[in-house]
Each structure stands twice: as C-alpha cells, then as structure tokens.
C-alpha cells in the first residue's frame, strides 16, 4: 500500500520557515481577548463589580483619610496648636509648687512666638463663701461656694476669654491689691449677677469685692467659667498666695515647638527641669496618626473587598476556561500554541481587573469629592492613587487569571476538540 518514498527528514529546506518562533501580534491578542470578554458582557460586568468595589473602597479610603486628616489638622491649628501650658513638675513641687515667678507673664511675652501669656493660680479662701448683694432680684441669690482663682492681667487674652459685661482687671488692680474680681459665666449665673453697670459687689467671706467684669466664654482653662477671678496681687495680700500655679501661653501658629523649649528656660533659668510643659503634639505627627488609624481600618476593608474581587475574577475565568474548552481546541487546531492560549486568558483577566480598577478609581474619587462637598472640606488625594489604582486592579486580574490561564494552556488539543464548541 505504501509506494516507495524518500527517507523521512526532520525538516525540508523550504519548510523551516514554518517552524520558527511565532509571536502573536499584540493587537490580535487584545482583539481576541476583548472579543472573548464582550461575548459574555453580563458575567464580565458582575465579575468586574468585585474589583470595582475593592479598588473604589481603597481609593475612597485613602482619599477620605487624607482629606479628614487635613481637616483635623486645620481645626487643630485653629485652637489647640497654639496652646502651651507651663506648670511645676513633680520635682518642682507639683500643683503646689512655687517655682513660677510672679513676673512670669512679662518674661513669657518677651519670647518671640508668644501671642499672649498669663499666669493662673488656685486660691485657698479657707472655706469662705461668696454671696452677692442683690440688686435686681433680691430673692434669687445666696451664699455659694465658688472656686477662687488668681490671674495675671494677660491671662484673659491667653485663654481667649470674651467679656459679656464690664472689663478685665489690669496691672494696676494687681499692684494695688484692689478688691476687684471678674466672674465666670457659670459663677455669675449662680450668684444671680448679669450686669455690672451698677457697681455690683460680692462678699468673699466678710470681704467685699467689686465685680468689674463678667466672662461670656473662654476657650482654654474651662474651669474659669465657674470661678471668681481676682488679681494676683490681691490674692497674695488677701489670701497669702505663694506663687502662680501655671502659666498659660498662646503662641503663633507653628511656634509651639519653639515655645515648648524656651518657656521653661525663661521662667526658671536656673533649673528648667522644675517645670513641665503641656503642648499639643506636632500637627504633622497628629495628621499622620489620624491617617494611619483611618487607613489601617479602611484599607483592611478595601483589601478584603479586593481579595473577594480577585477570587471572583479567578473563579469566573476558570469557569470561562471550562466553558470554552471547545473554543480552546479550535484555536489549538488553528495553530495556537500553549503560550497563545495562556496569554489570551491572562489578557482577559487582566482586562477585567483593569476595567474594575478604572471604574473603581473613578467612583472612589467621586465619593471623596461628594463627601468633601457635603462637609465643605477640601478634597485631598495623592496623585498616584487614582493613577495607580487601575494598575493595581490590572495586577489583581493578572494574578487571579494565572491559574485559569495555565489550566487552559495545559489542555491537550485533541481533548479540547472532543469537548466540542
């Protein structure tokens, strides 16, 4: 049955060209993968949804934490970042220490970066009650126990106090040890005093003090709201105050670190260690801490979403491989090598991840903008986040598609063809 024929050769001269390494055109590869995806649009859309959620959550998390961090820092700067309090350390006697000098206010105000400064002390009135002399409502007031504070004149500005009536005492009141006081809003309410234009006075024990001012609000040293505040000179003479209890400083923005270092030296040059300084943490550190806390929580959620998305892509790609065994067989019969099949499925899964990344990054950015708009914040987002998120999605798709692609490539063409289309 077999006619005489030449001995077999591995290759004939003119057919070597058939067997050289073939490289599929990238456009062909992308076109085939794209067509494979478009053939199942609903399933691809649902698969991509997992990556959309994951990438969207990551982008929104990073953006919102950055935005919120900036917002927190902004508010922090406005009030707290200028607040420095100096008081005796434990070595300096603690709360009852006598380290702070009487001219502390003047010393502090000489420091560059100090906006306002004052000293504040608790005054021991030995249980004396404070009672008002009724003017408008004789039946309202009686004797009450009020905390008595002594302050230097500059304290009111340092604690950002606002007057609702009258005036603050000044250096003259202190140096003359005048029996004048300013009432906090809570203290004035307890005493039934709401005006000072009729030379209102109160008794502290059996001593009569003129009320020269009423505080409306304070933003620092909130205990002042319920206290009666007398000049330091008065407290020294009337109640034997030994030394200021603390120094309150308001600094310029960004000067906290400087004042934190200089204030103890200014107040206690011989031994600054006798004083302790309470100052807010560096805003940058606070911002990083806030971002870090938010990131840790939400990145975990985003990571979980992304993992679910990756599993979804892997699962759907694997199902797609199993469903398309016949197609794989056809492609192998048409000359596709294993690497061509592998590459097609990898491009498909990478394409799904990339699409999910693009949509997710867009939605995440929109969420940041929307939340910022609602809260009148300034949206802040690192440029690499919306640019890198699609690449992360593509990477997720690539990794997810590796196993299904290898499995598709491992199919023998005969077995794949037998499975049919």
Partner 1 sequence: MRPAAERRRAGGRRVSAASNALRRRRPWKSWVIELREVGRTFGADPPVVAVDGVDLTVRRGTSLAIVGPSGSGKTTLLNILGCLDRPSSGTYCLEGIDVGALSDDERAALRAHRIGFVFQSFNLLGHRTVAENVMLAEAYRGLPRQGRATRALEALRQVGMEDHAHHLPPKLSGGEQQRVAIARAIVGDHSLLLCDEPTGSLDSLNTEALLALFDELGEAGLTRVTVTHDEQVAAHADRRVRMIDGRMTEEDA
Shorter beta-carbon distance to partner 1: residue 30 or 128: 30
Minimum distance, C-beta of residue 332 to partner 1, in the bound complex (Å): 7
The residues, any chain, with a CB within 8 Å of residue 73's CB and separated by 6 or more, are 283, 284, 286, 287, 290
Cβ atoms of residues 343 and 303 within 8 Å: no
Minimum distance, C-beta of residue 314 to partner 1, in the bound complex (Å): 23
Shorter beta-carbon distance to partner 1: residue 287 or 340: 340
Shorter beta-carbon distance to partner 1: residue 4 or 270: 4
Shorter beta-carbon distance to partner 1: residue 14 or 197: 14
Shorter beta-carbon distance to partner 1: residue 49 or 330: 330
Minimum distance, C-beta of residue 304 to partner 1, in the bound complex (Å): 35
Minimum distance, C-beta of residue 51 to partner 1, in the bound complex (Å): 23
Minimum distance, C-beta of residue 352 to partner 1, in the bound complex (Å): 17
Shorter beta-carbon distance to partner 1: residue 22 or 75: 22
Q: How many C-beta neighbours within 10 Å does residue 308 have? A: 14
Dihedral of CA atoms 41, 44, 50, 56 in degrees, nearest 10, equals: -60
Shorter beta-carbon distance to partner 1: residue 2 or 198: 2
Query: Which residues are paired to 122 by β-bridges?
Result: 149
CA distance 309 to 357: 11
CA distance 65 to 323: 43
Minimum distance, C-beta of residue 411 to partner 1, in the bound complex (Å): 12
CA distance 250 to 116: 5
CA distance 57 to 302: 5
Minimum distance, C-beta of residue 345 to partner 1, in the bound complex (Å): 15
The residues, any chain, with a CB within 8 Å of residue 380's CB and separated by 6 or more, are 63, 66, 67, 69, 70
CA distance 126 to 105: 27
Minimum distance, C-beta of residue 413 to partner 1, in the bound complex (Å): 5
Q: Give SS3 for 91.
A: coil
CA distance 207 to 84: 35
Query: How far apart, in Å, are the Cα atoms of 112 and each of 20, 86, 115, 256?
Result: 80, 16, 8, 11
Site residues (vs partner 1, CB under 8 A): 1-3, 5-6, 8-12, 15, 18-25, 27-28, 32, 35, 38-39, 326-327, 329-340, 412-414, 417, 420-421
CA distance 261 to 256: 9
DSSP 94: G
CA distance 322 to 405: 11
Dihedral of CA atoms 312, 316, 317, 322 in degrees, nearest 10, equals: 150
Shorter beta-carbon distance to partner 1: residue 44 or 55: 44
Cβ atoms of residues 120 and 155 within 8 Å: yes
Shorter beta-carbon distance to partner 1: residue 9 or 110: 9
Minimum distance, C-beta of residue 406 to partner 1, in the bound complex (Å): 15
Minimum distance, C-beta of residue 35 to partner 1, in the bound complex (Å): 6
Shorter beta-carbon distance to partner 1: residue 27 or 126: 27
């Amino acid at each position: 049955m077999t006619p005489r024929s030449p001995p077999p050769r591995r290759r004939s001269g003119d057919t070597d060209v058939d067997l050289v390494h073939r490289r599929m055109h990238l456009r062909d590869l992308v076109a085939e993968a794209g067509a494979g995806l478009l053939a199942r649009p609903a399933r691809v859309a649902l698969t991509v949804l997992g990556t959309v959620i994951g990438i969207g959550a990551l982008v929104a998390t990073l953006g919102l934490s950055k935005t919120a961090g900036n917002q927190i820092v902004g508010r922090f700067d406005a009030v707290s970042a200028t607040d420095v309090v100096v008081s005796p350390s434990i070595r300096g006697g603690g709360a009852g220490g006598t380290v702070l000098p009487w001219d502390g206010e003047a010393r502090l105000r000489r420091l560059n970066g100090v906006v306002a400064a004052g000293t504040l002390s608790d005054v021991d009135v030995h249980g004396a009650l404070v009672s008002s002399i009724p003017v408008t409502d004789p039946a309202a007031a009686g004797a009450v126990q009020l905390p008595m504070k002594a302050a230097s004149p500059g304290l009111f500005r340092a604690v950002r106090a606002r007057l609702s009536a009258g005036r603050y005492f000044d250096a003259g009141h202190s140096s003359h040890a005048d029996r004048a006081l300013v009432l906090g809003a809570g203290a004035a309410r307890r005493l039934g005093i709401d005006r000072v234009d009729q030379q209102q006075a109160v008794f502290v024990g059996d001593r009569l003090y003129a009320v020269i001012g009423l505080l409306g609000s304070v933003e620092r040293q909130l205990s002042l709201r319920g206290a009666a505040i007398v000049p330091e000179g008065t407290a020294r003479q009337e109640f034997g105050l030994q030394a200021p209890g603390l120094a309150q400083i308001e600094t310029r923005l960004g000067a906290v670190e400087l004042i934190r270092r200089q204030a103890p030296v200014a107040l206690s040059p011989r031994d600054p260690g006798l004083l302790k300084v309470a100052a807010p943490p560096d805003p940058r550190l606070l911002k990083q801490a806030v971002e870090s806390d938010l990131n840790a929580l939400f990145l975990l959620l985003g990571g979980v979403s992304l993992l679910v998305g990756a599993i979804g892509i892997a699962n759907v790609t694997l199902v797609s491989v199993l469903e398309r065994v016949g197609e794989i067989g056809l492609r192998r019969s048409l000359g596709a090598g294993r690497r061509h099949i592998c590459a097609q499925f990898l491009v498909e899964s990478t394409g799904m991840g990339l699409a999910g990344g693009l949509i997710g990054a867009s939605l995440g950015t929109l969420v940041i903008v929307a939340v910022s708009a609602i809260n009148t914040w300034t949206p802040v987002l690192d440029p690499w986040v919306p640019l890198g998120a699609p690449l992360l999605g593509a990477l997720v798709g690539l990794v997810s598609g590796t196993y299904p692609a290898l499995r598709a490539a491992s199919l023998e063409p005969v077995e794949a063809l037998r499975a049919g289309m």
